[in-house]
Chain A
Amino acid sequence: MLELKDVHTYYGNIHALKGISLTVGDGEIVTLIGSNGAGKSTTLRTIQGLNKPKSGSVVFNGTELHKLPAHEISALGVAQSPEGRMIFPRMTVMENLEMGAYVRKDLTSLKDDLDHVFTLFPRLKERIGQKGGTLSGGEQQMLAMGRALMAKPKILLLDEPSMGLAPLLVELIFEIIKKLNEEGTTILLVEQNALMALSIADRGYVLQTGEVVLADQADKLMKNDMVQKTYLGVE
């Protein structure tokens, strides 16, 4: 469904991605784990077109994403809940969700999708008229995910959905990710919480300083020595 081949991305002179190759199959949950600065978020930004790769290719269902401007990529069914949530602070929850559906042409099912988001995140319904910037961190995370879902994506890119959240909330978010996947959404999940990520993922990639150092089934990665030592904290 999504295939990255030897992708190199730069921030000015900084070589952030040094030849990333990965695939995400239809209906899978694939996770990227790695420490700070490993290039996880940059990979998602490159897929979304926010950063353009200097070389390599990003192909989604046969379309070469790296040749398209960012705003055309989301129309193909790629949506993201970004790092830092990036909700619109001076727009209401409702307006934020409406913006999520910006690229959609079929506005008939919009009401159903809104209801779907509200079933997943009942908290958002309570806050519907509130400005995004006044929400708590957890609520903002829900809003960022809900906004991405409003685009009815074929693939959902999730960047650190657990960051800064209370453990109970983290579990809730991961349950929702599983549920979304069961409903047919393909998911590419970036996480620092490697244990949680690997426990729900089908496959995983380990990134280190812009390179893929390991790629395997999630359950095998969990048993891998290096992963256990570095990311799961097993001595």
Chain B
Amino acid sequence: METTRKKFNLRRFAIATLVLYIVFLIGPIVGLDVPAVYASIKSNPLQLVQFLIIGISNGAIIAIIALGYTMVYGIIELINFAHGDVYMIGVFTSLTVLSLTGTLESKDPAKIVFGLILALIVAIVFCAVLNATIERLAYRRLRNAPRLAPLISAIGMSFIIENIGLMWAAQAWLVPSFGTTGGASQKSFPDMLGILFTSLGWDVNLLASTGIALRLTIKDVMVIVLAVVLMVGLYLFVQRTRLGKAMRATAQNRDAAKMLGIDIDWVITATFLIGGGLAGAAGLMAGLYNNTAWWFMGFRAGLQSFTAAVLGGIGNIAGGMLGGFLIGLLASFSDGYLNARWTNALVFATLVLILLFRPTGLLGEQTGQKA
């Protein structure tokens, strides 16, 4: 017993070494130059704090998306591959709402605030309904099928939604083109918070008056505050409310939940509604933060959020939040000190390493059920 265990660990160690070897072999070519990174940190330590701020803001968005993956996995053990694309639809929904209400051209602070709140609500509702519809159409009938079937169905849904995004982006009356043509190009998502602050005569950089050479913008604050509000709200919902408890019960033992009178179909629909709503909110947040809208953006966000969910422990809500922030920081430091092209590979390498060494994730410890 002891020897087989050791052997197994040795094999995992070998694979991990291989992964790290590849990272460091290809690393320098794409900019992973350790002495240079060290020198750069030493010469400008404030920059580290700057990347920290960016990492936390991006991490907040990733965490909100990761919650959708982790909640759905927790309850039906399915990786909803279409989730990242639901988030992309959230970006386009909010951009369309801002465009149709005339908020994009407005300089009136009250109107901008109203438009943003409306966009948030519409994006949440639209993505919630979209996500629940996906479950109804593509997953429900496959609930008792072999695991591979709903997985393939999820990948199919992902392609379908990406194509909807492509068509949506091509409609100039819905998505202002700002000179770009066709649906495949990246669309600009105007910096409404910056416009709002400028129109009020305030500096976008909240640290401008302090003289510190750092940028902590209203965008960072908005993203972090909104994410924290959503997370606390979700946590209280799942811990305290009747439906939240029914969701946890269903996740832990579906048959027992049925036996106690919990309507499983409704609980699963509610889970998809909440996950989709969070993705919609993340869509608006990301649009305002990164100022782009692109039909393929759900892929990278999905990859990062999925990794975050696995890192924290898939199925574990607190884990999804933690994983989101960690992946955000990793991506930010990689973008800043290495090379933005290298970031996705690093995120993937993280995924491989977690799956090798701690498949249950950081917080995913299982409370074993005794006989």
Contacts and interface: CB of A to CB of B under 8 A. Distances in A.
Nearest to A100: B260
A137 B261 contact: no
A89 B255 contact: no
A46 B258 CA distance: 13
A99 B250 CA distance: 11
B262 A87 contact: no
Contact of A151 (B257, B261, B263, B370): B261
Contacts of A48: 258-259
Interface stretch (A28-36, A52-60, A67-75, A168-176): A67-75
Interface in A131-172: 131-137, 140, 147, 151, 164
Given A99-B245, A164-B371, A88 B263 contact: no
A91 interface: yes
Contacts of A75: 261
Contact of B256 (A69, A72, A73, A88): A88
Interface in A36-82: 48-50, 69-75, 79-80, 82
A103 interface: yes
A121 to B, nearest CB: 17
A209 to B, nearest CB: 24
A115 interface: no
B262 A71 contact: yes
A91 B258 contact: no
Interface in B248-278: 248-249, 252-253, 255-264
Interface in A83-105: 86-91, 95, 98-100, 102-103
A43 to B, nearest CB: 14
B65 interface: no
Contacts of A71: 258, 261-264
Contacts of A99: 245-246, 249, 257, 260, 262
A89 B264 contact: no
Contacts of B262: 71, 99, 102
B233 interface: no
Contacts of A103: 260-261
Given A71-B263, A99-B249, A151-B260, A86 B370 contact: no
A98 to B, nearest CB: 7
A89 B252 contact: yes
Given A74-B260, A88-B249, 16 more contacts: A48-B258, A70-B259, A72-B261, A79-B259, A82-B256, A86-B255, A87-B253, A89-B252, A89-B368, A91-B249, A91-B252, A102-B260, A102-B262, A132-B369, A133-B367, A134-B367
Interface of B: 242, 245-246, 248-249, 252-253, 255-264, 367-371
Those 8 A-B pairs whose CB atoms lie nearest each other, nearest first? A103-B261, A74-B261, A86-B256, A133-B367, A70-B258, A88-B252, A89-B369, A71-B263
11 contacts: A48-B258, A49-B258, A71-B262, A72-B261, A82-B255, A82-B259, A102-B246, A102-B261, A133-B369, A151-B261, A164-B371
